[in-house]
Chain A
């Protein structure tokens, strides 16, 4: 479990708060740098797009299409937020899968395997939902807790259930991403242990090592898929929640 540990790189103390520069912060910067390079390559505005520009435009078109099918014609103004959160999570997930650790002294750290990071992303999405809801509808936003055509006798119960399901959204959003990332990394680590232990045993153990190696290759392919799916699910759920705030069911 060494890969999930956070270590300090530079100590920093401001007014009694510990805001040291850690591995987590370093890898967030690396992810941002990679994201910046990726977007920079596609921002040339050529009339006939090259390969790189097609890639970036394809990503933007994908997110824009997803947001506009979820929210409707009003959804275009929420594309920047959904796009940035989608790309950040996608790049953070993929950077965590990179085999940089074969260089001695380098440690790979998955930013999204920390509950604080994913929790903050979820809280930001959730506060955008709240701000948009109260800004557009005022106190009429509370209608989101009462579905259309509820019998008056059931009203308090339905209100309570809807309130709980609304409040649990940021937690489920954060928990899904964080646990999916941590589970994949633990699975790979367990089978990597099997390889080493099998070689140490020798004899029949070599067979177990080979089998584990093949299995790890398959799990890695699955993990790359999961990385993309989790980013997609986070983005599509965010746009669905914004849709609730914009259109009130």
Chain B
């Protein structure tokens, strides 16, 4: 029984790696947006909706990793 508990905690920790990797994705989204926006500031305001859609898509995967970690810890 104790080894199952230990395995759960290890599994949740491994699942939490995904949250960190999603942070790389979010930073790429915002970084590339800034790069483009500094080259052409006039067009930047019109693209903010697309920026947040990209952010939402990248963030969702990190949040799913978090949800998986929580499910492993508390539900299973």
Looking at A119-127, A200-208, A228-236, the stretch in contact with chain B turns out to be A228-236
Residues on B with C-beta less than 8 A from A179 are: 63-64, 66-67
Complex Cα spacing A69 to B49, Å: 9
Chain A 192-249 interface residues, beta-carbon cutoff 8 Å to B? 229, 232-233, 236-237, 240
Min CB gap A120→B, angstroms: 18
Min CB gap B59→A, angstroms: 7
Q: Which of B46, B55, B56, B64 has the most CB of A within 10 A?
A: B56
Known: A176-B59, A180-B59. A233 touches B52 (CB 8 A): yes
Q: Is B60 an interface residue (CB 8 A)?
A: yes
Residues on B with C-beta less than 8 A from A176 are: 56, 59-60, 63
Q: Is B53 an interface residue (CB 8 A)?
A: yes
Interface on chain B toward A: helix, strand, loop, or mixed SS? helix
By the criterion CB–CB under 8 Å, are A183 and B49 in contact?
no
Interface on chain A toward B: helix, strand, loop, or mixed SS? helix
By the criterion CB–CB under 8 Å, are B49 and A66 in contact?
yes
Complex Cα spacing A141 to B14, Å: 42
B interface list, Cβ under 8 A from A: 46, 49, 52-53, 55-56, 59-60, 63-64, 66-67
User: Which 9 pairs across A and B sit closest by C-beta, in order of nearness?
Assistant: A179-B63, A233-B56, A176-B60, A179-B67, A183-B66, A236-B49, A233-B52, A172-B60, A179-B66
13 CB contacts below 8 A, A to B, read: A66-B49, A69-B46, A69-B49, A172-B60, A175-B60, A175-B63, A175-B67, A179-B64, A179-B66, A183-B63, A183-B66, A233-B55, A240-B53
